Amino acid sequence: MPSTTRSTGHRAHGARGAGESAKVLPADVRQMHRSLVLQELYKSEPMSRADLARATGLTRVSISEVVGDLIELDLVSELGTRPGARVGKPAVLVTVKYDSRTIVCLDLSDETEFRGALINLGGEIVEYDSIRLNKERGDAATERVIALARQLVEKATAPVLGIGIGTPGVVNREGIVRNAPNLGWKDFDLTAAVSAALELPAYVANDADTAVLAENTFGEGDGAGLMLVQISHGVGAGILSDGILLRGAEGTAGEIGHVKVTDDNVPCPCGRIGCLEALVAAPRLRTRIDGKDTAHAAQELAAAGQLLGTVLAPIVQALGLFDVVLFGPKELLDGPLLAATEETVNATTTHFSDRPVVLRMAALDRDGVLIGAAAHVLGGELGLS
């Protein structure tokens, strides 16, 4: 992957504990070498073993062993010799076998359904699936997650590398959902639950964090300074600054949906009143424009955009961001809401340059969380980052 940002998903099993020996074993070195070679081959032109030795700094003997291992694992294949006449033995080219594994990816951010996809190693979606929701929460929501993951595993025609999940709510580095009010999860180890049910490695991360990684890796984002604002069942943001995903000590960075923006008695799923999420989440936006003509609906969406802009402005100012992406239903966001948000942000910030803050819709559209979830699995299982 071309991105240098760091994944936040967490595998359910297999990590060495802090109290265990830090000694580097031969197996660890072998795995690091495999990841290094895969990183060079990933999304690049086919390379010879000599090319890989030069690119990685490993010896040709080590490269031959690593490439042999990867061929045996069916992750890499030989394509034949490089075209063109050359003196000496022709170089045999190798490349990643992108269809040799499947990644099961889930997006739990929508208010009406859980979406899923089978994605190959190249980040290409092979097949979609979904499961409808009827306001399930807690254990019932968990059952729906596992059911969708199982449906996708059963449809896979290649070995499943792992399961990646983007979920709303606060998710810590261990993949535990600390709080997801809309799904009724609190201090819930979704990672372990899914991994145990499917007997596969699982990675769980916040949906906005997942989507911002995808926008940077596969979309049009610049990891030097990018904020992705997800508006769906809830409202949250993923922020990249200087190539680093900002998470916060408790994983709460980007939880902008629970900033209080009004004293009106508007209840929020978090239990408070007047939160941004209570006024700007997708279900609330639909209610605000329901039954209104085009002009009045535009006024309601613009008012929501102004509220959003007032919350985003100090974040944009403090972090020096210029690229802000909205991710969610285009019919709600791409129009008066987007324009009003951008106008409000630029009217209330000063970047001491002639460059304005640009708000745009995410390049990856609805698939950002799914593709970002695949990136977490690729990082955790193959060392691709």
Domain-located, residue 349: yes
**Are both 265 and 173 inside the same structural domain?**
no
Q: 192 and 231 in one domain?
A: no
Tell whether 285 is covered by a domain: yes
Query: Which residue range(s) make up the domain with 342?
Result: 222-362
Residues 226, 312: one domain? Answer: yes
Q: Does residue 216 fall inside a structural domain? A: no
Residue 192 sits in the same domain as residue 206 = yes
pLDDT value of position 132? 95
Domain-embedded: residue 143: yes
* CATH code (residue 43): 1.10.10.10
Residue the block writes with tokens 């610049």: 222
Q: Which has the closest alpha carbon to 372: 148, 221, 216, 244?
A: 216
Q: Please count the structural domains in the chain.
A: 3
Q: Are residues 345 and 261 in the same domain?
A: yes
Query: Would 75 be classed as within a structural domain?
Result: yes
Indicate if 257 and 297 belong to the same structural domain. yes
Residues 150 and 117 in one domain: yes
Whichever domain contains 340, its CATH number is 3.30.420.40
pLDDT tens-digit map of 222-249: 778 899 999 988 899 999 998 888 988 7
Whether residues 169 and 82 share a domain: the answer is no
Span 307-331, pLDDT tens digits? 999 999 999 999 999 999 999 999 9
230 CA to centre of own chain = 11
CA distance 107 to 213: 14
User: What would the two tokens of residue 249 be?
Assistant: 């000590």
> Are residues 240 and 206 part of one domain?
no
Sheet holding 170-171, edge to edge: 170-171, 177-180, 185-188
b/e for 229-257, b at 16 or more Cβ within 10 A? Answer: bbbbbbbbbbbbeeeebbbeeebbbbbbb
Could you tell me if residue 53 is inside a domain? Answer: yes
pLDDT in tens, the chain (385 residues): 334 344 445 555 433 344 444 566 777 888 899 999 999 998 889 999 999 999 999 999 999 999 999 999 999 999 888 776 566 677 899 999 999 999 999 999 888 899 999 999 998 999 999 999 998 999 999 999 999 999 999 999 999 999 999 999 899 988 999 999 889 999 999 999 999 999 999 999 999 999 998 888 777 777 788 999 999 888 999 999 988 889 887 888 999 999 999 988 999 988 899 999 999 999 999 999 999 999 999 999 999 999 999 999 999 999 999 999 999 999 999 999 999 999 999 999 987 777 889 999 998 878 989 999 998 899 899 988 6
Q: Is residue 343 part of a domain?
A: yes
Do 146 and 85 reside in the same domain of the chain? Answer: no
Tell which of 64, 96, 128 closes a domain: 96
Which of 48, 73, 96 is the C-terminal boundary of a domain? Answer: 96
206/231 same-domain check:
no
Q: Does one domain contain both 78 and 186? A: no
